[in-house]
Amino acid sequence: MPRLSVLIPAWNASAHLASTIRTTLIALPRDAEIVVYDDASEDATAAVAASFSDRRVRVIVGDSQLGPARGMNRLLGATDSEYVARIDADDLCHPFRFALQRREIERGADVAFGTLLHFGGRYRYPRWLSRGRLGPQAVRVSLLLSNPLGHSTMFARRSALHGEQSYQDVPTEDYVLWTTLAAEGARIVRSAAPLASYRHHRGQLTATADWQQRRVHEDAAVRRAYSDLGAEVTGVRPSAELPLRGAWTDAGDVEYLAALRAAVDALDGGEGRFVAELAKGRGLR
């Protein structure tokens, strides 16, 4: 049994999937596998994945489209490794990624992330946008302000997740999972090192008009996860009317926002400065 399964959910990803698998194989430890789930693609995604003769690459082909959340749950159900990682089917894995993240887990983290380099699309040259290490408390506070965790860099103890029910079928399935785990007390960290390169292109899911038009911040699951984490971090449950995006300059919820501001101010060092910038962007400082 492999100790690590790297999960790659893919839909119509034939243009970039080969480079994702190649770079992941370079970084892959000996006791690990790559599992690609082709979500009933309409292109050659399955053929590209199957073209790799390396026995560490396994391909599952779906009969009908499940979507990102249920696709990840199927991948979790199809593997039984001690650790699981994720990379998007159009991103590039960095060579030292898994060795660094396993050390984070061995030091006590339940879920470990890294930062991302951004390339393609409007980025003519690779850009390192969100920098700096975040410890468990900084992650918890940050998730109440933004989402500083790149899904494509996730590395987790399987025991920290919820098995085949880990991801809820909502547009921001990753954010809902991180906030839920954080509220439950999971130790989530983000290393300063860039562990993957995030590709921007017109074909990616988050660039489609259908995804952008969804009012993701009004989703009941998103609001419930946010409310639970907010209450856990600050001791005050945010009201159902608190807007989850945009500036809070004219928002009510004075008691909750004051408690959140105190949680931001309690952080120090580099992570304190990072979270303070997030708070400033929300009009909290």
Domain C-terminal end among 202, 235, 255: 202
- Residue-wise pLDDT for 134-162, tens only, equals 999 999 999 999 999 999 999 999 999 99
Domain assignment present for residue 211? The answer is no
Question: pLDDT, tens digit, for every residue of 68-121?
Answer: 999 999 999 999 999 999 999 999 999 999 999 999 999 999 999 999 999 987
Is 80 part of any domain? yes
Q: If DSSP states are collapsed to H, E and C, what string results for 96-154? A: CHHHHHHHHHHCCCCEEEEEEEEEECCEEEEEECCCCCECHHHHHHHCCCCCCCCHHHC
Last residue of a domain, one of 202, 227, 259: 202
**Is 135 within a domain?**
yes
The answer on 169 and 103 residing in a single domain is yes
The residue among 202, 228, 256 that closes a domain is 202
Q: Do 137 and 241 belong to one domain?
A: no
Residue-averaged pLDDT of the chain: 92
Question: Is residue 213's pLDDT more than 50?
Answer: no
Query: pLDDT tens across 25-74, in order?
Result: 999 999 999 999 999 999 999 999 999 999 999 999 999 999 999 999 99
The alpha-helical segments, DSSP class H, found in the chain are 17-27, 45-50, 68-77, 97-106, 136-142, 173-183, 209-212, 220-234, 254-265, 269-281
Same-domain pairing of 151 and 58: yes
Q: Indicate whether 166 and 255 sit together in one domain.
A: no
Structurally, the chain folds into a number of domains equal to: 2
- What mean pLDDT is predicted for residues 174-203? 93
pLDDT of residue 126: 79
Residues 37 and 104 in one domain: yes
Which residue segment(s) compose the domain that 120 sits in?
4-202
| 264 and 237 both lie in a single domain | yes
pLDDT at 204 > cutoff 80: no
Asked, for residue 210, whether it belongs to a domain, the answer is no
Share of the chain above pLDDT 70, in %: 92
At residue 219 the predicted structure's pLDDT band, cuts being 50, 70 and 90, is: confident
Q: Are residues 109 and 226 both part of a single domain?
A: no
